[in-house]
Amino acid sequence: MSSLKRVKNILPAVLSIAFALMAWQLIVQWTQLPRFILPAPVDVWSRFLKALMDGSLLYHTGITLVEIVLGLLVGITFATITGYALAKSRSLEKVLSPYLVASQAIPVVAIAPLLVIWLGDGILSKVVICALIVFFPVLVNTVVGIRAVPAALYDMMHSIRATRLQILMKLEVPASLPVLLGGLRIGATLSVIGAIVGELVDAEQGLGFLLQLGDFQYDTSMVFVAVFMLIALALFLYGVVTLLERKFLKWQS
């Protein structure tokens, strides 16, 4: 990709961010609200630099990132295994579907305090909460992706006497990969929510802790810093999945 094309691709995003910052600054000047209610962009930037220099921002961001990555790995692993089993067995789907659907009717926020009580206030409860939020969208996309593989391709694989493992690796995974990666995109962004829900319930470290600390101390600039770091983490994870799609789905272009 040429440099000019890269600039054209990122220019709309840069302009939209610049417009949002200008609008934010104008709102602050027009309303004359105190800093603890609505800080100006320069105040948030100053707080960001202060937290960055004293090391607290990087430390707490690292804690949250570890929880997110572990939760993603656990959630994706169990979701793909369960989703594949459901896709291959209608009877198993009939047995498990009511429980899976019922689990989505209960907000994770509602059961997060119970998970913290059962699993402790350490990293384990946050990872489990994160995995639970990631689980369902990845599961659904796995089922849809596997069932979307054309029956004619299975017949072809059987005609050349392919093994079960060969069918999985040479047919099912490549054919369903676009749908699977689509589910991973959703899971990657939702994983950030899962980690923060766990930290807001009970934590002494992580970006959720910084959010609560800023709220209790009326340090609204710190709240904004933590929120923007969460957005940055979500964008980073989304970008990683996008790069994976470009790498493994070159054949679609």
pLDDT of residue 24: 92
113 and 216 co-located in one domain? yes
Record the pTM.
0.89
pLDDT of residue 15: 86
Question: How does residue 4 score in pLDDT terms, banded at 50, 70 and 90?
Answer: low
Residues 6+ apart with CB under 8 A from 133: 71, 75, 108, 190, 191, 193, 194, 197
62 and 11 co-located in one domain? no
Question: How confident is the model over 133-170, as pLDDT tens digits?
Answer: 999 999 999 999 999 888 888 888 988 888 888 988 88
Question: How confident is the model over 28-64, as pLDDT tens digits?
Answer: 999 888 888 899 999 999 999 999 999 999 999 999 9
pLDDT of residue 231: 93
pLDDT of residue 69: 94
Mean pLDDT over 183-207 rounds to: 88
Look at 251 and 179; give whichever has higher pLDDT: 179
7 and 65 co-located in one domain? no
pLDDT > 70 in the chain, percent: 95
Mean pLDDT over 179-189 rounds to: 88
Query: For residues 238 and 231, what is the distance between their CA atoms, to the nearest angstrom?
Result: 10
Question: How does residue 7 score in pLDDT terms, banded at 50, 70 and 90?
Answer: low
54 and 3 co-located in one domain? no
pLDDT of residue 33: 86
Give me the domain span that covers residue 215.
40-252
Q: Please tell me the total count of domains within the chain.
A: 2
Is a pLDDT exceeding 90 seen at residue 247?
Answer: no
66 and 156 co-located in one domain? yes
**Tokens 């948030």, residue located:** 44
6 and 86 co-located in one domain? no
pLDDT of residue 248: 80
48 and 153 co-located in one domain? yes
Look at 227 and 15; give whichever has higher pLDDT: 227
170 and 125 co-located in one domain? yes
Largest Cα separation within the chain, whole Å, is: 75
196 and 160 co-located in one domain? yes
Mean pLDDT over 7-18 rounds to: 79
Question: Residue 163 in 3-state DSSP?
Answer: coil
Mean pLDDT, the chain, as a whole number? 88
Which range, 57-61, 109-113, 169-173, 179-183, has the best average confidence (pLDDT)?
57-61
Look at 238 and 1; give whichever has higher pLDDT: 238
129 and 56 co-located in one domain? yes
Count other Cβ atoms within 10 Å, centred on residue 41. Answer: 15
CB 192 within 8 A of CB 207: no
Query: For residues 38 and 181, what is the distance between their CA atoms, to the nearest angstrom?
Result: 38
pLDDT of residue 253: 55
Count other Cβ atoms within 10 Å, centred on residue 190. Answer: 23
| Joined tokens for residue 221 | 């600039």
57 and 147 co-located in one domain? yes
Look at 251 and 215; give whichever has higher pLDDT: 215
Q: What share of the chain is helix, strand, coil (3-state, %, to 5)?
A: 85, 0, 15
